[in-house]
């Protein structure tokens, strides 16, 4: 492809690898990739899945001008549950997205008790709950069913291992290849596992 400056762009993956830039992530965070994917799902009438807003209690507001208000103090009203929820093919979808720079493990400290309790309740009532875990150092994103998380969580609570090794996530999870419009096409994994 030629750009307005007249230079030809080399689109090969090897060219990107030589520059040290990853093809699959290109500076986007996991949350940005999921939001773009969810917009594609919504615009294509595939699913309705949104990021949940965190409930905040506004305490103090400054009005430096009549036309502008600045929130100067606020608190979380309550502990939030998971990052995303919605509906796909008649099923409730509920998941947490986590990104780690760790190369060897996913620390369970990234998940809170109330989040795990919420995900257990979703599964108990017939919903689909999972983690999307991105290992930033490898530019790999995994779909990890919450049912596979439960035994590791129990180990953590009993004082054993406080993380899930990368190799286990790689073996027991499902890698999600990067796509242009559906950057993190997690519904393709849900189709294989649940439908």
DSSP 3-state of 140: strand
> How many angstroms separate the CA atoms of 31 and 132, rounded?
10
Q: Report whether 99 belongs to an annotated binding site.
A: no
End-to-end CA distance of the chain: 40
> How many angstroms separate the CA atoms of 70 and 35, rounded?
26
Q: Report whether 81 belongs to an annotated binding site.
A: yes
Q: Which residues of 75-101 are buried (b: 16+ CB within 10 A; e: fewer)?
A: eeeeebbbbbbbebeeeebbbbbbebe
DSSP 59-83: EEEEEEETTEEEEEEEEESS----S
Q: Report whether 43 belongs to an annotated binding site.
A: no
List, as residue ranges, the binding site for Mg(2+): 81, 83, 96, 115
List, as residue ranges, the binding site: 81, 83, 96, 115
């Amino acid at each position: 492809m030629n750009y307005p400056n007249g230079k030809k762009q080399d689109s090969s993956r090897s060219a990107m690898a030589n520059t040290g830039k990853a093809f699959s992530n290109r500076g986007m965070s996991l949350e940005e990739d999921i939001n773009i994917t969810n917009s594609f799902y919504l615009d294509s009438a595939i699913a309705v899945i949104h990021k949940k807003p965190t409930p905040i209690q506004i305490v103090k507001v400054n009005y430096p001008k009549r036309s502008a208000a600045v929130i100067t103090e606020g608190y979380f009203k309550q502990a939030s549950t998971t990052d995303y929820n919605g509906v796909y093919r008649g099923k409730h979808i509920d998941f947490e997205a986590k990104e780690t720079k760790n190369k060897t493990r996913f620390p369970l400290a990234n998940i809170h008790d109330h989040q795990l309790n919420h995900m257990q309740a979703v599964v108990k009532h017939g919903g689909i709950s999972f983690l999307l875990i991105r290992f930033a150092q490898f530019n790999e994103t995994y779909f990890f069913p919450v049912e596979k998380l439960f035994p590791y969580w129990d180990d953590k609570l009993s004082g054993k291992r406080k993380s899930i090794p990368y190799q286990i996530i790689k073996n027991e999870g499902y890698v999600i290849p990067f796509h242009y419009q559906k950057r993190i096409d997690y519904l393709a994994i849900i189709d294989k596992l649940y439908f």
